[in-house]
Amino acid sequence: MRTANIIWVTLAPTALAIATAFSGMGIAQSVEGPTEFEGVREGGGALSDSALATIPSWTPVNAATTGRIVNALNAAAEFCRAKADRAFALDCMNYEYWKIVETLPETGEYAEVRVALEGVATRMSGLVTRHRDSSPAQTLSRTGIQPKVTTRKINPIVAPAISSSAREAADAIAEAQTLLLRSTGNSDLRRAQFQRIAQAMESGAILLRSL
């Protein structure tokens, strides 16, 4: 199975640096192919329950596009907080992160964001795979003005590992926030926009630390 530093050799140097750093942290590499439990990695494809459309690789860093990513990250944490029982919250966040990752470009100015979020999602996938409970997975849904149904079932975590695995996932988010901010170089625009994304990632970290 390919490691992150091979996957991202076509990216800009800063994106490659982030990918290499994640590889060095011992992240479980479930980026390609099925995991032990079907659906652990995948966000379910399609954007049937997300307002974030695919961002083309030629998109320059800008406030509007960053705002869409920020909204998606905040909405992900809010959905999992409202609809996922404690045991399901980690895989709910895993699902949501993969859905966002799938909309981000592999090259271009937002590539570093994809690498950072994919590193977190890969870590969460590994945690879900290791600590999945044997009880049935569940489809999560929301009704109302913005109805939403997860496109795969969400897996529960065994009770003794809920808090510890969630803390590991929150730590992965913190590491990704740091690496993302270090990737901005000397660009004030990139720094400002990536700070917004890093701040939005905190909403998920807060949820995970509360478990």
Going from N- to C-terminal start, the domains of the chain cover 46-209
Query: What pLDDT score was predicted for residue 79?
Result: 97
Do residues 35 and 135 make contact, with C-beta atoms less than 8 angstroms apart?
Answer: no
Query: What pLDDT score was predicted for residue 40?
Result: 57
- The secondary structure of 166-209 as a DSSP string is HHHHHHHHHHHHHHHHHTTTT-HHHHHHHHHHHHHHHHHHHHHH
What tokens were used for 105? Answer: 């470009």
Query: What pLDDT score was predicted for residue 52?
Result: 78
pLDDT averaged over consecutive 10-residue blocks of the chain (211 residues)? 37 46 41 38 44 89 97 97 96 98 97 98 98 97 92 98 98 98 94 98 98 96
Closest by CA to 13, choosing from 107, 117, 145, is 107
- What is the model's pTM? 0.79
Query: What pLDDT score was predicted for residue 51?
Result: 57
Query: What pLDDT score was predicted for residue 1?
Result: 40
**Residue 85, Ramachandran bin (φ over 0: left; ψ between -120 and 50: alpha; else beta):** beta
Strand runs (DSSP E) across 29-116, as ranges?
Answer: none
For residue 138, list its beta bridge partners: 154
In sequence order, which residues have a C-beta less than 8 Å from that of residue 40 and are 6 or more positions away? Answer: 30, 91, 94, 125, 128, 129, 132, 155
